[in-house]
Chain A
């Protein structure tokens, strides 16, 4: 295979990129933006070489333990479980949580062949049982896959004596019932709480 075909093949590994798009990207990199292409190649190499999963929270980090996990300012008794780094980022924007995180890097999705082995749930189980964590907060998405993940992680941790909670769902803050989608409203009724 010549280098051009090799590049096109390599680009096709990206999600949503078919042969046509891969070809377009390859020509763009070689013809229009050779400096950008060099930067891309270099940063890819550096990232692959230097980044690893944090031993504690599973996000990408250069050190063995990431800055957030090493920080003494954070409450080590709380562990918030999210699906992806983007979820962690948005949770941080709330400025209302000062505990630790664990990023699953996915969710249980039986029809995509993603189960406990693919997610390496053993690592989370070991992390939650470190003796310092007093409560695990499950903040996976409110999709079927997120719910399945929360249910099983919750069950497994509960049987090991860890206190487990799930973030609440319902009508959004500032939301009016009239304009709330009916699925959310129906579930808010099912999950109503007594005052």
Chain B
């Protein structure tokens, strides 16, 4: 594997860029077939650079790169268009999605299904759709795609199907458990889930306000666990902005 590899016009998004040296950028990209991939964009901060205005987050791009080291060199980026720019609250939600991907996705691990979900979610945000159902649905897809084995419609251990009218709770790394009279200390407060909400989540249906509220609590706990307790900056800033 010491031949210099070249990839042309791969579908991808920019997740974030960091200035590098005087005129270059390190670009964290999320590509469909090569996963999260950091690329060095040489001279991208020069005034006349062809990619200067293109390397923007939330825009579908066709990305080319080459190289054999860990940090490959960006050789081209073309705007694919077809969607408006993100604005307002949708833009802040976009940063949140990007931060989740940057923190949770390992490098160079292809997730084409997740990529398509990301592209769909960004498009929906650009169209100004209601943000909460989009975020919950993406969070769930991300955790499932990362292999955390989130099964929401089957009771852990017993293998019984979750009942619409039943009451349950969720333990991280274990799964859905039936709530009976004596739940003991194993259940964290606020972790109660209705069978109806669990089944709706399992079918990726976040249209109901009750489901949405329960999903928010569940996703918050799960993400906190898999992020190892790290604070998400985009969430902190969104909260601060809403307090202004």
Interface of A with B (CB < 8 Å)? 15-16, 108, 110-117, 121, 125, 143-144, 147-148, 151-152, 156, 181-184, 186-187, 190
Contacts and interface: CB of A to CB of B under 8 A. Distances in A.
Given A110-B234, A115-B237, A147-B87, A125 B21 contact: no
Interface in B114-130: none
B240 A151 contact: no
Instruction: Please tell me the size bucket of the interface on B.
Output: 20 to 34
B40 to A, nearest CB: 14
Contacts of B96: 110
Interface of B: 16, 19-22, 53-54, 56-59, 79, 81, 84-88, 91-92, 94-96, 98-99, 102, 233-234, 236-238, 240-241, 244
B35 to A, nearest CB: 18
Contacts of A183: 53-54, 56, 59, 79, 81
Given A15-B19, A110-B237, A183-B53, A147 B91 contact: yes
Contact of B95 (A15, A111, A143): A111
B56 A144 contact: yes
A152 B81 CA distance: 26
B21 A115 contact: no
Contact of B102 (A111, A121, A147): A111
Contacts of B87: 147, 151
Nearest to A108: B237
A16 B24 CA distance: 10
26 contacts: A16-B21, A108-B237, A108-B241, A110-B92, A110-B95, A110-B96, A110-B233, A111-B99, A113-B237, A114-B237, A115-B237, A144-B85, A144-B94, A147-B91, A148-B95, A151-B91, A156-B244, A182-B81, A183-B54, A183-B79, A183-B81, A184-B53, A186-B81, A187-B85, A190-B84, A190-B85
Contacts of A143: 56
Contacts of A151: 87-88, 91
A16 B22 contact: yes
Given A110-B92, A111-B16, 9 more contacts: A111-B233, A116-B237, A116-B244, A125-B244, A143-B56, A144-B91, A148-B92, A151-B87, A187-B85
Nearest to A115: B237
Nearest to B17: A111
